[in-house]
Structures are given as structure tokens and as C-alpha cells.
């Protein structure tokens, strides 16, 4: 069951003008990349030359090496932290920064007007779509 007052007063409710003072904070790595104008090519080089070449032990050594540039140490720290948690958040952020977000094409027949169909026609159309979706998932 949810905690707190289920019917908060208008004075304490969130609205378009009343928002929390501290929203979700971005990761330190993301903020550092934004503040220092690191290019996507720089991020791609870091990923290529660090993550895909070195094992975990070598990455931990590089992270502790104060002679390494700060971006590399921060990147390795964020990557290893995510790795230990079983997460890929920082890696995904860096991949999107380096290579852009992957395209996610949308396909479908958008010219169907279901409101003009009878109940039986809508049911048959839904059954066909579900059948098609099932056969598409089997091909993946």
C-alpha cells in the first residue's frame, strides 16, 4: 500500500509551477563530458582503446594511475561501477554520445480507421495483428 497522504492539499501537490528543487542529478561522467566539450570522436576513441582492449584488472590499475587524464579515469570508474551493479547505464550514455542513438523504425498500417469498423471486423483485425506479431517474434 502506498505511504503518505492519498489526497494532498493543493498547497503541497506537485504542479507545473510547484516542482521539487532537486530533480534527478545526471551522472558525474555525463556532466564532465558536457562541461568539457568532449566530442563524440573522443568518446569513441576512449571506448575503443580502453573497454575493448583491457581486462578488469588493467582497468582498475588505469583508474588508480594519477598520470592518466581525468576523463579516462572517470570513464573507467563509472564503467566498473556499473559493471559491478550489473548495469550498462554509463556505457549506454557513452555509446550514444560516440555513435548516436540507434534508429528504432516504426512500421504499421496507419491508414486503418477502426472506428468505422463493426465489432466483428475489429475483432478479426486484432486477431490478424496478434497472429502477425506472433509470427514476427518467432522469426527473431
Q: Is residue 51 part of a domain?
A: yes
Position 4 scores a pLDDT of: 65
Q: Is residue 106 part of a domain?
A: no
d(CA 72, CA 50): 8
Position 1 scores a pLDDT of: 47
Q: How far is CA 89 from CA 33, 47, 97, in A?
A: 15, 14, 12
Q: Is residue 15 part of a domain?
A: no
Q: Is residue 113 part of a domain?
A: no
**Counted domains in the chain:** 1
Q: How far is CA 36 from CA 23, 30, 33, 46, 62, in A?
A: 22, 10, 5, 15, 21
Domain that holds residue 32: 28-99
Q: Is residue 1 part of a domain?
A: no
pLDDT digits (tens, 9 = 90+) for 37-48: 778 788 778 777
d(CA 52, CA 95): 13
Give the residues of the chain that fall short of pLDDT 50.
Answer: 1
Q: Is residue 119 part of a domain?
A: no
For residue 16, with 0-12 CB atoms within 10 Å meaning exposed, 13-18 middle and 19 or more buried, which class applies? exposed
Q: Is residue 110 part of a domain?
A: no
pTM: 0.45
d(CA 115, CA 117): 6
Q: Is residue 94 part of a domain?
A: yes
Amino acid at each position: 500500500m502506498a505511504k503518505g497522504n492519498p489526497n494532498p492539499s493543493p498547497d503541497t501537490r506537485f504542479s507545473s509551477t510547484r516542482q521539487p528543487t532537486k530533480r534527478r542529478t545526471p551522472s558525474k561522467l555525463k556532466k564532465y563530458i558536457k562541461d568539457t566539450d568532449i566530442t563524440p570522436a573522443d568518446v569513441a576513441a576512449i571506448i575503443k582503446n580502453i573497454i575493448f582492449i583491457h581486462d578488469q584488472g588493467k582497468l582498475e590499475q588505469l583508474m588508480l594511475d594519477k598520470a592518466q587524464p581525468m576523463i579516462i579515469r572517470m570513464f573507467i570508474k563509472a564503467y566498473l561501477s556499473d559493471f559491478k551493479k550489473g548495469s550498462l547505464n554509463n556505457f549506454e550514455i557513452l555509446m550514444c554520445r560516440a555513435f548516436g542513438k540507434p534508429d528504432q523504425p516504426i512500421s504499421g498500417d496507419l491508414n486503418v480507421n477502426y472506428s468505422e469498423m463493426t465489432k466483428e471486423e475489429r475483432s478479426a483485425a486484432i486477431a490478424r495483428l496478434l497472429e502477425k506479431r506472433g509470427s514476427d517474434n518467432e522469426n527473431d
